């Protein structure tokens, strides 16, 4: 490590994970070798020996170029540089240049505990609310746990905060409850009619982490358009019929025009499938019929070539029938 910067000519560090790519950076140095070093090099060439004068100049130039590379990388907020390459060039017999370049990155040591993130199904709803908690995400980083909640539907304005009780159910039907957990900083995902909060730290016993199967998100209070609202205490477990109704209500929050506009810009049915699966896993509101259409066209594409057009036609037909 030089100047608290780790460098490598490769593209990773053993026992470290790259957490952020900060961009290309470089360092340059130009040195004049002078008349005496040129004469010394000529004599060395004539005698077939090594020129220590040139070696010293090259070493000094390389160190100067690397120092500038370190400085530029640190100014970007990096603590490491990958893909480091040092190039030499001569402008004349008495002037040489050295260029050191690489990609500035941030790295973190990989500890004994892996960073994990998982989605927990939410199987309750608030019947008096026009929006629902559609997903609960649990992140664990080196023993520190946090929840993020995704809300879908049409709240009639901007939700900025939610206070909720979280009930976790294990595979043994044991319950673990966290009261009055606050969720803030809800942000919309592109082309999605849903918003997700920033992570909220919480305390969880280690013994239940791998046993969680589902959850209830019992919304108690929320801030809508800068006004505080209180939800009723009538939070119900979804039976099969109610689950269908709730899913349909959430799916109505999908901005169809924006969704179709975005997938129209993709180049194949396979790309449409990847994008749709991604947002479906995150928000669980894509109608199953749409997933079947895209999956079918993606499979056909492997045998008969690009199936984007037929895929788009079927998707548009489905939504036109649903809205007619």
- Return the residue matching tokens 């209830």: 216
Which has the closest alpha carbon to 11: 81, 76, 74? Answer: 81
Which has the closest alpha carbon to 237: 259, 264, 215? Answer: 215
Average pLDDT over residues 258-286: 78
Summarised one tens digit per residue, pLDDT across range 69-78 is 999 999 888 9
Domains in the chain, ordered, with CATH? Answer: 6-109 (3.30.110.70), 116-246 (no CATH), 256-323 (no CATH)
Summarised one tens digit per residue, pLDDT across range 19-70 is 889 889 999 988 765 544 454 444 444 444 445 666 777 788 888 899 999 9
Residues 133 and 219: their CA atoms lie apart, in Å, by 8
Task: Look at 81 and 274; give whichever has higher pLDDT.
Answer: 81
Please provide the DSSP assignment of 195-223 as one string. Answer: EEPPPEEE---GGGGGGEEEEEEEEEEEE
How many other C-beta atoms lie within 10 A of the C-beta of residue 35? 10
Q: Is 88 in a helix, a strand, or coil?
A: strand
Dihedral sign from CA coordinates of 266, 267, 271, 272: positive
Dihedral sign from CA coordinates of 153, 155, 161, 166: negative
Percentage with pLDDT > 90 across the chain: 24
How much is the CA Rg of the chain, to the nearest whole Å? 29
Summarised one tens digit per residue, pLDDT across range 203-250 is 888 778 888 988 999 999 999 999 999 987 655 555 444 444 444 444
Residues 16 and 78: their CA atoms lie apart, in Å, by 14
Summarised one tens digit per residue, pLDDT across range 151-210 is 887 788 889 999 999 999 998 888 999 999 999 998 875 545 678 899 999 888 877 888
Q: Is 262 in a helix, a strand, or coil?
A: helix
pLDDT at 53: 62
Summarised one tens digit per residue, pLDDT across range 80-125 is 999 999 998 877 666 778 999 999 999 887 754 455 678 888 887 7
């Amino acid at each position: 490590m030089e100047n608290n910067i780790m460098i490598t000519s490769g593209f990773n560090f053993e026992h470290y994970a790259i957490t952020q790519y900060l961009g290309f950076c470089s360092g340059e140095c130009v040195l004049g070798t002078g008349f005496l070093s040129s004469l010394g090099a000529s004599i060395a060439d004539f005698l077939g020996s090594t020129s220590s004068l040139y070696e010293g100049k090259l070493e000094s130039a390389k160190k100067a170029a690397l120092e500038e590379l370190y400085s530029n990388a640190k100014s970007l907020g990096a603590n490491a540089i990958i893909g480091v390459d040092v190039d030499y060039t001569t402008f004349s017999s008495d002037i040489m240049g050295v260029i050191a370049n690489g990609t500035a990155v941030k790295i973190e040591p990989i500890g004994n505990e892996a960073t994990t993130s998982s989605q927990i199904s939410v199987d309750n709803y608030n019947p008096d609310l026009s929006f629902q908690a559609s997903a609960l995400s649990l992140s664990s980083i080196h023993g520190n746990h946090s929840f993020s909640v995704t809300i879908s539907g049409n709240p009639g304005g901007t939700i900025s905060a939610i206070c909720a009780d979280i009930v976790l159910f294990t595979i043994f039907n044991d319950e673990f409850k966290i009261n009055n957990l606050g969720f803030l900083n809800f942000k919309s995902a592109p082309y999605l009619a849903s918003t997700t909060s920033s992570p909220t730290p919480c305390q969880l016993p280690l013994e239940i982490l791998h046993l969680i199967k589902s959850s209830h998100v019992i919304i108690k209070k929320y801030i809508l358009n800068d006004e505080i609202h209180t939800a009723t205490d009538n939070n119900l477990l979804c039976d099969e019929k109610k689950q269908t109704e709730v899913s349909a209500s959430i799916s109505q929050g999908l901005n169809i025009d924006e969704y179709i506009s975005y997938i129209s810009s993709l180049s194949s049915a396979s790309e449409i499938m990847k994008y749709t699966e991604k947002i479906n896993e995150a928000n669980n509101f894509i109608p199953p019929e749409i997933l079947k259409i895209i999956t079918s066209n993606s499979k056909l594409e492997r045998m008969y070539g690009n199936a984007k057009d037929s895929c788009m036609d079927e998707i548009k037909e489905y939504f036109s029938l649903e809205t007619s």
